């Protein structure tokens, strides 16, 4: 993350609740609905578990629970404020993207989410944490990433403008198959999909 950048209440108030908010009303709900529908389509059953990496305040959790009340959710974020404020209520644990391997999360999840995070993560940490993220993915991975090819507005502090092709290459090397808008399939699903359900197959 950007040196000296603080993910405190002031940060979340500014970017998620003020007139400068980065999400329009209903946007997170639509993303959640997309990820849930895609996961259940490819899994062939109801979504049961979600790991949200870089979850912030755990904004996805209420929407997920509204759609699937019995779903098990675990959020991971480096923000001390977010964990203190929402940790118990939304099941959040403290940790950065590169810390996944040290958190001893010994299970796979139907859906792994990393939304609006990776374009702030330095190369070395991203490459260290991505294999661990894929290890925890038993189904669909939702990776919302802004690239240097996009017209970006919002929080530009510490944002890394990498080409889209750089991410595609990195994700493919980690064993992920592209399957739609920000959607990727983890290795356990590779043998279940038809050719035109994904962009490319190995």
Mean pLDDT by 10 residues, the chain (202 residues): 67 70 78 98 98 96 97 97 96 96 94 96 96 98 94 76 96 96 97 91 56
Task: Write down the residue that tokens 């996009």 correspond to.
Answer: 150
Q: Which residues contact 21 (CB under 8 A, 6 or more apart)?
A: 15
Q: Which residues contact 74 (CB under 8 A, 6 or more apart)?
A: 49, 50, 51, 52, 91, 92, 93, 105, 109
Per-residue confidence (pLDDT) for residue 26, from 0 to 100: 86
- Quote the pTM value: 0.91
Per-residue confidence (pLDDT) for residue 5, from 0 to 100: 73
Residue 72 corresponds to which tokens in the numbers above? 């098990």
Residue 2 corresponds to which tokens in the numbers above? 């950007």
Q: Is there a contact between 94 and 83 (Cβ–Cβ < 8 Å)?
A: yes
Per-residue confidence (pLDDT) for residue 154, from 0 to 100: 65
Chain mean pLDDT for the chain: 91
Per-residue confidence (pLDDT) for residue 20, from 0 to 100: 60
Residue 3 corresponds to which tokens in the numbers above? 């040196």
- How many whole angstroms separate alpha carbon 79 and alpha carbon 10? 12
- How many whole angstroms separate alpha carbon 184 and alpha carbon 150? 19
Report the CATH number of the 9-197 domain: 3.40.50.150
Per-residue confidence (pLDDT) for residue 15, from 0 to 100: 61
Per-residue confidence (pLDDT) for residue 157, from 0 to 100: 76
Per-residue confidence (pLDDT) for residue 22, from 0 to 100: 64
Residue 60 corresponds to which tokens in the numbers above? 């996805």
- How many whole angstroms separate alpha carbon 78 and alpha carbon 13? 17
């Amino acid at each position: 993350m950007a040196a000296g950048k603080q993910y405190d209440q002031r940060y979340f108030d500014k970017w998620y609740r003020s007139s400068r908010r980065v999400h329009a009303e209903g946007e997170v709900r639509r993303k959640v609905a997309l990820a849930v529908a895609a996961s259940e389509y490819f899994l062939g059953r109801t979504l049961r578990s979600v790991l949200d990496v870089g979850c912030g305040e755990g904004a996805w959790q209420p929407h997920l629970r509204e759609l699937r009340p019995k779903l098990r959710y675990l959020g991971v974020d480096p923000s001390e404020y977010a964990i203190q404020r929402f940790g118990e209520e939304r099941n959040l644990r403290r940790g950065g993207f590169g810390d996944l391997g040290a958190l001893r999360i010994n299970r796979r999840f139907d859906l792994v989410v990393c939304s609006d995070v990776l374009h702030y993560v330095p190369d070395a940490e991203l490459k260290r944490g991505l294999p661990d993220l894929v290890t925890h993915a038993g189904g669909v991975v939702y990776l919302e990433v802004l690239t240097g090819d996009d017209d970006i507005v919002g929080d530009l502090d510490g944002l890394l403008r990498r080409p889209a092709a750089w991410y595609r290459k990195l994700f493919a090397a980690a064993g992920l198959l592209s399957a739609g808008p920000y959607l990727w399939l983890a290795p356990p699903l590779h043998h279940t999909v038809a050719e035109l359900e994904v962009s490319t197959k190995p």
